[in-house]
């Protein structure tokens, strides 16, 4: 800290929501600001026995002192935003930038009705691609034009940079994953903008010289929803046998699964300028890792895996996920 960016290292759904909520509590984050595409993302947070699935709000809500903001780069679906404010009981500490672009029904219809987008690419059907097209064409509606959002409007870049200037901890929350990036991913099977760390910072209005740490989140295996190549892909039956069968937060589709990919991990570290790795779902791959919160408590095969990641990828694994709940984390950071 004080300014940390979190990003996905594979194809999204690495468990960023859980890592972010842990960091917000542990580091007493003053503001968490969301970057990325928009409500095509779904972060799951298991907090006090309840599961929250957030598509618009930052995942840091578990810390009651954290301000939750959405950066101007992000596309906003007002209904989803307002519903999440209600569900999380965070009215009063949520805000979005007046320059956020608005997803309208026509964007959703275009996304879902397109043989290319929903059919070939397998988009989430949330309207984000067509909305970004309108934004580039400079024909999109902005948050400042939506009456229901008026009371939430704040100058997000200004708030975030002022807090940074005061030395407070700030978390910039990425969505999707490196290989879904429009620039660096497996084109055309990608999302509608870049989602690497530099873009997440730009989405919120933080310049590169003000970023201190970049945490890339990897799952202990790889999953992908939608179309596109997946190296070492298991059949759905094999994935289920391994315990790797997962279903998408936004679309409910079964996620395709493959073993951990060191080549992808190395390149993700390079593209994001990662300084730390968070490795999630270790309990799914290594049974005895479930709920462990001290590194020494991990079984040897799990520790060997962590050490092989560090050796091959050359970045320290500082956070290890050992279960879906926010507090099921091994934190190896020195302080």
Binding residue count for ligand GTP, defined by CB under 6 A: 25
Contacted by 121, from Mg ion, ligand GTP, ligand IMP, none: CB < 5 to 8 Å by type: ligand IMP
Strands 213-219 and 43-47: unpaired
Q: Which two tokens stand for residue 158?
A: 């200004």
Please report whether residue 283 would count as binding ligand IMP according to CB under 6 A: no
Residues 240-279 that bind ligand GTP (CB under 6 A): 249
Beta strands per DSSP E along the chain: 3-8, 31-34, 43-47, 50-54, 67-70, 75-76, 94-96, 101-102, 170-173, 213-219, 221-224, 246-247, 254-259, 276-280, 317-321, 329-331
Binding residue count for ligand IMP, defined by CB under 6 A: 22
Please report whether residue 42 would count as binding Mg ion according to CB under 5 A: yes
**Per-residue contact flags (x/-) with ligand IMP for residues 158 to 177, judged by CB under 6 A:** -----------------xx-
Please report whether residue 123 would count as binding ligand IMP according to CB under 6 A: yes
Please report whether residue 249 would count as binding Mg ion according to CB under 5 A: yes
Contacted by 16, from ligand GTP, ligand IMP, Mg ion, none: CB < 5 to 8 Å by type: ligand GTP
43 is catalytic: yes
Q: Which two tokens stand for residue 296?
A: 């020494």
Q: Where are the alpha helices (H) located in the chain, listed in sequence order?
A: 16-26, 78-88, 105-113, 128-136, 156-165, 197-204, 236-242, 262-272, 282-285, 300-313
Strands 221-224 and 254-259: antiparallel
Cβ 247 to ligand GTP shortest distance, Å: 9
Return d(Cα 86, Cα 262) in angstroms, integer.
Answer: 41
Q: Which two tokens stand for residue 54?
A: 């957030």
261 is catalytic: no
Of 39 and 205, the one with the shorter C-beta distance to ligand GTP is 39
Part of the chain binding ligand GTP (CB under 6 A), chosen from 67-75, 169-177, 181-189, 305-313 = 169-177
Please report whether residue 88 would count as binding ligand IMP according to CB under 6 A: no
Contacted by 280, from Mg ion, ligand GTP, ligand IMP, none: CB < 5 to 8 Å by type: ligand GTP
18 φ, ψ to 5°?
Answer: -70, -45
Please report whether residue 322 would count as binding ligand GTP according to CB under 6 A: yes
Query: Which of 188, 171, 200 shows the shortest CA–CA distance to 9?
Result: 200
Q: Which two tokens stand for residue 291?
A: 């709920």
Return d(Cα 246, Cα 221) in angstroms, integer.
Answer: 12
Please report whether residue 194 would count as binding ligand IMP according to CB under 6 A: no
Of 11 and 22, the one with the shorter C-beta distance to ligand IMP is 11
* Burial (CB count within 10 angstroms: exposed 0-12, middle 13-18, buried 19+), residue 57: buried
Part of the chain binding ligand GTP (CB under 6 A), chosen from 116-124, 150-158, 301-309, 318-326 = 318-326
Query: Which parts of this chain interact with ligand IMP (CB under 6 A)?
Result: 11-13, 37, 40-42, 121-124, 126, 128-129, 175-176, 180, 189, 191-192, 225-226
Query: Which parts of this chain interact with Mg ion (CB under 5 A)?
Result: 13, 42, 249
Q: Which residues are catalytically annotated? A: 13, 43
């Amino acid at each position: 800290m004080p300014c940390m960016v979190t990003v996905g290292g594979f194809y999204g759904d690495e468990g960023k929501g859980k890592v972010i909520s842990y960091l917000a509590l542990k580091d007493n984050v003053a503001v968490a600001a969301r970057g990325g595409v928009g409500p095509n993302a779904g972060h799951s947070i298991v907090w006090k026995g309840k599961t929250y699935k957030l598509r618009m709000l930052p995942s840091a809500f578990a810390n009651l002192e954290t301000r939750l903001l959405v950066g101007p780069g992000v596309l906003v679906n007002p209904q989803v935003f307002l519903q999440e404010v209600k569900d999380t009981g965070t009215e009063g500490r949520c805000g979005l930038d007046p320059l956020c672009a608005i997803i309208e029904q026509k964007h959703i219809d275009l996304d879902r009705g397109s043989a290319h987008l929903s059919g070939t690419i397998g988009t989430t059907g949330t309207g984000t691609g067509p909305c970004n097209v309108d934004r580039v064409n400079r024909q999109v509606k902005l948050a400042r034009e939506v009456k229901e959002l008026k009371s939430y409007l704040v100058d997000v870049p200004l708030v975030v940079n002022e807090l940074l200037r005061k030395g407070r901890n700030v978390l910039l929350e990425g969505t999707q994953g490196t290989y879904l990036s429009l620039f660096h991913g497996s084109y055309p099977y990608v999302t509608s903008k870049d989602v690497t760390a530099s873009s997440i910072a730009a989405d919120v209005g933080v310049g590169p010289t003000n970023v201190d740490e970049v945490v890339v989140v990897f799952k202990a295996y790889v999953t992908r929803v939608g179309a596109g190549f997946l190296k070492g892909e298991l059949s759905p039956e094999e994935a289920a046998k391994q315990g790797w069968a997962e279903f998408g937060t936004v679309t409910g589709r079964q996620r395709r699964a493959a073993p951990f990919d060191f080549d992808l991990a190395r390149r993700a570290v390079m593209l994001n300028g990662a300084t730390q790795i968070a490795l999630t779902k270790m309990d799914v791959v290594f049974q005895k890792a479930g709920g462990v919160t001290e590194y020494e408590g991990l079984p040897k095969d799990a520790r060997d895996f962590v050490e092989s990641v560090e050796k091959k990828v050359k970045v320290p694994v500082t956070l290890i996920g050992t279960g879906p709940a926010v507090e099921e984390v091994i934190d190896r950071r020195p302080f």
